Amino acid sequence: MRIIHLLLAATLAVSASLASAQDAVSLRLNWYLGGLHVPYYYGKDMGFFKQEGIDLTINEGRGSGNTVQVVAAGSDTFGMADSSSLITTASKGAEVKSVMSLLNSTGFSVVSLASTGIRTPKDLEGKSFAVSPGDPLGQLFRALAAHNKLDMNKIRFVQVDPAAKVVSVLEKKVDALLGGADDQYFLIKYKGQEPAALRYADHGANIVGMTILTTTSTIKNKPDLVRRFVKASVRSWEEAKKNPNAAVDAAMKVKPDLNRQSTLDQMMVDFELLDSPNSKGRIGMGAQADWEQTISLLKQYRDLDTKEPWTTFHTNEFLPK
């Protein structure tokens, strides 16, 4: 009997040890749950993070800029934010760095009703666009305009709240909005209208899109945790690409009121944005050319002040071999 008790105690001790081996990790998204975030909910539901010894909590966000600040303050372990927010905040002293170059093509787009007839950059002249105060879309639009030799005097910007962009287009108060090919495009579509998107990335103004970031202290002190998180993240995206409907099912367990088709459509666009011409082949891989172009455009059009190399802001060292 004593032997049985000892074996039982040993089994319980091992179980407790395994349970405590799970690292509590939080991921702060850039916004409310949408297609871009589905692979993480799928990975958690499928146990990919648990298999890497990670007990993952996913928190919705309130914009990329806020996410970078929250992670820098140590409130969340990892964050999802666009590269421009990461770079500009890090250049001002925030000790954060990208460990995954997730979307290597930006989804930034001029989104309009197809009936408006915006098909080429030259069609943008003479049009009005809804843009939000402090929106990087408006600043980087100037890069698109410069590359395509557009006359900015023939383009009018109308300042609106973020939530009013789509309404402004639908009510034809403006010709288009500056937004996302994986976001506002589908908000228009599921209002029963036919949308069109002219992507910055296709017309000479590509920057790295979404990144996964953490603090430099986490990278220094917990490199194995970062490596395991990145490994589970890559697997989550790979499996979501293979099983997109099942991935959306996992997200809807968490948020049943999601528009299923819209969420699926958004995610399918994000799969297209994973790669750039320089980075094809590995999810999370950041190409030097893409990061250097991003920094160059931010210096020109967002007043970025830094002499740091691209490797200050991103590393590929944690990607699975």
The predicted-structure confidence for 81-135, as pLDDT tens digits, reads as follows: 999 999 999 999 999 999 999 999 999 999 999 999 999 999 999 999 999 887 7
Q: Alpha helices, DSSP H only, in 78-206?
A: 83-91, 136-147, 165-170, 184-189
Q: Alpha helices, DSSP H only, in 222-310?
A: 223-242, 244-254, 260-273, 288-301
Residue positions counted in the chain: 321
- Give the strand order in the sheet containing 54-59: 54-59, 23-28, 78-82, 210-215, 96-101
**In whole angstroms, what is the distance from residue 297 CA to residue 285 CA?**
20
Residue 3 lies in a domain: no
Point out the domain boundary residue: 203, 229, 263: 203
**In whole angstroms, what is the distance from residue 50 CA to residue 55 CA?**
6
The whole-chain average pLDDT of the chain stands at 93
Handedness of CA 269, 255, 73, 213 (dihedral sign): negative
pLDDT of residue 18: 43
| Count of the separate structural domains present in the chain | 2
Point out the domain boundary residue: 203, 230, 253: 203
Residue 243 lies in a domain: yes
Q: Are residues 112 and 100 in the same domain?
A: no
Percent of the chain with pLDDT over 70: 94
Q: Are residues 212 and 307 in the same domain?
A: yes
| Tokens read off for 137 | 């879309």
**In whole angstroms, what is the distance from residue 60 CA to residue 44 CA?**
15
**Which of 160-164, 192-196, 208-212 bottoms out in mean pLDDT, i.e. has the lowest?**
160-164
Q: Are residues 112 and 228 in the same domain?
A: no
Residue 14 lies in a domain: no
pLDDT of residue 275: 95
pLDDT of residue 280: 79
- Which of 20-56 are b and which e, b meaning 16 or more Cβ less than 10 Å from the residue's Cβ? eeebebbbbbbbebbbbbbbbbbbbbbebbeebbbeb
Q: Are residues 212 and 308 in the same domain?
A: yes
**In whole angstroms, what is the distance from residue 247 CA to residue 249 CA?**
5
Longest Cα–Cα distance of the chain, Å, equals 89
pLDDT of residue 17: 42
Beta carbons within 8 Å of 151's beta carbon, 6+ residues apart: 125
H or E element: which one contains 72?
helix 64-72
Percent of the chain with pLDDT over 90: 86
Q: Are residues 157 and 305 in the same domain?
A: no
Domain span including residue 40 = 23-105+208-312
H or E element: which one contains 20?
helix 2-20
Angle CA(198)–CA(201)–CA(207) in degrees, nearest 5?
135
Residue 137 lies in a domain: yes
Residue 97 lies in a domain: yes
Q: Are residues 71 and 119 in the same domain?
A: no
Helix (H, G, I), strand (E, B) or coil at 317: coil
Q: Are residues 194 and 246 in the same domain?
A: no
* Residue 244 scores a pLDDT above 80: yes
Beta strands in 52-170 (DSSP E): 54-59, 78-82, 96-101, 108-113, 128-131, 156-159
Q: Are residues 244 and 218 in the same domain?
A: yes
Residue 320 lies in a domain: no
